[in-house]
Structure 1
Amino acid sequence: MTHSALSPVFTALRLGLHALVVALIALVVLRALTLGGPTEIAAIVLAVVMLSTYAAGTLLARRARSVPVPDGARHHGSAVFVWLAVLTVEWIVLVLLSPDAAYLVFPLFFLYLHLLPRAVAVPAVVVSTGAAIVAIGVHSGFSVGGVIGPLVGAAVAVAIGLGYEALAREAVERERLIAELVAAREELAARGREAGKLAERERLGAELHDTVAQALSSIQLLLHAAERTATPDGGGVADTEQLRSHLALAREAAATALAETRGLIDELSPPALVGSTIADALERVASTTSAQSGVPVVVTVTGEPISLSTPVTTALLRVAQSSLANVVQHAGASRADVTLSYLDEEVILDIDDDGVGFAPERLGEREAGGSFGLVSMRRRITELGGDVEVRSAPGTGTTVTVRFAERPDTEG
């Protein structure tokens, strides 16, 4: 049975059954030692053998245990049937040697009901009940108590067995419902995320259509008009004022489209990058880190700035934030340096600290433990076409280097 909230109940029932078997066999042994008689040794030996058989079969019964289906059908291995048959034969022989062994029929009831198909279990309970009544009658004489006792015990065992089946069935049904609920929640969350993406795409598409696309269409019309003004059909002189007017309107439309485009880019950029360069954003991150942790962080920018795409700029900022967070939380450093270098067609970001360092070959273990984000950082940079290098050793600090190749231009 799979683990569920009812598992402790089932475990308690099994432990109770084991304790009952041990207690009853101990009773048989003690009574045999106390009363003596010609069958004393045989009863004690057979009681120990029966206990050993029960203990050896417990693991087998656990493997064969299955939850009953609605129609009560069960499918167990033949080894379980053999084990129950051997245990039953041992009990029959033992009850012939000692009348106290008749009480062992009660745990046998539970084993029959739990491990045998219902069509076999109920007849087995009836037959064993009759055998117990006969054994008690042979040893002590037939009486009302000797008949009623086993019958009541059998009825109680059947009731408990049916209750156990109901609990087991309820546990399986609950696990199935929980699994379906979790799956539905995950699917709903995935659909929500997808719907959010689609809604954002539609919003951006509408924004681009209403702003940039309209501006470009206006620019195209104005340039066509300017072209016709510059080259009249009749070969006359071009209207300079009208030409300038068309070009001025086209330039104004282009400026508007550029402003709208930058506004959309700002919406997709991290807040720290809105209206500022990557260098400004790094300065703010360093200042915040120093103020919050007390670890001095110095930012250095070298070279002539080049144009960086929004994904690359965002990735550089995220790397700096993650690396500085690691410095504060794990490195035990007294200082950290952030260096942004523009080298012709390449931009390099270095984050260096003088902390305790670590063994790079254990990077995967630290990521699995949730204490280091460099593995996911490397994955993100690689997806954007960049390179990540981590240099560290115990006691020597850590340096994280990120490289991106970009076309040189003036950073906007």
Structure 2
Amino acid sequence: MKHGLGLHVLVVVLALIVLLRAVLLSEASVGWIGPLTAVFVVVHIVGASTLRAPVARFAWLGALCAVWVAMALLGADAAYVSFGLILLFMTEVPLIPAVSAVSVITLLNTVIAVQTRGQWGGALVGSMLGAVVGVVVGLGFRVLFRETERRQQLIEDLHRTRAELAETERTAGELAERERLAREIHDTVAQGLSSIQMLLHAAETEDLPTGAADKIVLARRTASAGLADARRLIAALSPADLAGNSLVDALDRVCDRAAGGQCTIGLLVEGQAVSLPMPVESALVRLLQGAVSNVVRHAEARNAVVTLSYGADAVHLDVVDDGHGFDTAILADPSAHHFGLNAMRTRVEQLGGRWSIESEPGHTAMSVAFPLTQQEEESR
């Protein structure tokens, strides 16, 4: 049922009280009141449990009012049912239409009571008193339901946020481990094989016996094949966007995938491109993926600009958006949920780079810089 079960049980009990009074007082129309009470209960239960559209809810309440009027005209003490209807209107429809409906119900209660009992004073006072009590109780239910729905929404948001955070942490952990393995292979196996290959190549120029020279050539070719395998493994552990693409192409693909809806993301490249180590290129792609994801999902930005700049001594990646911004002080709060930002900073620092972020309403800028030192040697 849309709202609390207790309210609907109360309405059914009030209808059954009308039937019970008719039976105990042996009213002449009890033969009609019984079926009408059953119809009221069935319509109430079916409508409360199945109807959701506003128009359907109004039609449902109108049908209940029609059954109530029929019961009252037959002589039943239907004021109990009218009280239940007041509660339903006060909780099921907007406040102004609800008050209007309560006024009409009160007027009908008064007119029907005068027609059946002929007492204006008592009918008017009783109807007004029942309406006031019904409105007060209905407002209480209204506030209770609203607070219950708000808390339920908060609980659902919390569960969803926790699930997203857990998935983000799991994904970030997997990516970090893949990149760590790629860096380890690059810095140890690949670099070692590259050095061995260079030394063997130099040894080939020496005046060696024929048998020894042949073995050195074979060893160099073996080291070369191992180096190629190591590089393929590094590429497999690196971001898919880098596979067969330059760094600029990979960043452009990330921007194209993230752009859409209300946000436009553009990529600018400044300076002369230079060769970068695979770990640095991988980190730049991962950092951009995280940054544009934050822009699209959280910043509510309309425009974002990604700038890749090759300087004399460093490569820079800047992401600027015009979203609502956030308080960067949360980065120093261990209880705040900013796992993604901390993961970015950690990834940059592990590679010897610099990471910074500044934000205010209408402007957020993330900046990353990696030094360009011994790039040719490291990228081999």
TM-score (norm 2): 0.49
Structure with higher Rg: it is 1
TM-score (norm 1): 0.45
